[in-house]
Structure 1
């Protein structure tokens, strides 16, 4: 069995919280988690408890931002006039998160959800 671990504040986390999400919501959550540099558990706890999310810039976060920007670029370049039913708003969600992070970085590295 795995070793029991306490969190950073020496608390034992043994309560399970579960909820359902649509595939679109799950994708958006995964983008936000990826761009934050936090684990999904830590990100969700911070968001639910209304803590400020602090993105610490580094190579890992920069790589994730680049991957998301490349994905957005590829999707936008693949659009043509026949793709009128594509939801542009859905394509712009990750871009908004990247811009929020960059805007927060200019103001000291913090951004709020």
Structure 2
């Protein structure tokens, strides 16, 4: 019999948890996971347990930020003057703003 796979704290995670989400919510979750630098499992567990998620600046995080900012820029160009900005887009902008602010504080 093979050895049980445990995390770095010796916990054997034998229970599976799943939930349903909309395609937009899944995209937002994937983006947040990319920026965190954690695995999706670790990110969801820390988020649900209200534990802090520390993001360290690295090339993967930088690339994810640049890619998302380009998408936001394209969306803002698409929006006509006077139109309302989508709530999901505003949430993404807020998340990136907070992340960049946190990264600036750490690097100062």
* Alignment gaps of 5+ in structure 1: none
RMSD: 2.3
Structure with a larger share of its residues in helix: 2
**Greater relative CO, 1 or 2 (CA 8 Å, sep 6+):** 1
Tell me how far 1:25 sits from its aligned partner: 2.0
TM-score if structure 2 supplies the norm length?
A: 0.83
Q: Number of aligned pairs?
A: 106
1:106 matched to 2:104: yes
Q: Which 4+ stretches in 1 moved above 6 angstroms? A: none
Aligned to 1:11: 11
- Partner SS state of residue 15, structure 2: coil
> In 2, distance between residues paired with 1:15 and 1:101?
31
Q: Deviations over 1:11-69 (max 9, x none)?
A: 11111011112222222212211211111111001111111010011011000000000
**Structure 1, 25-34 or 38-47: larger mean CA deviation:** 25-34
* Alignment gaps of 5+ in structure 2: none
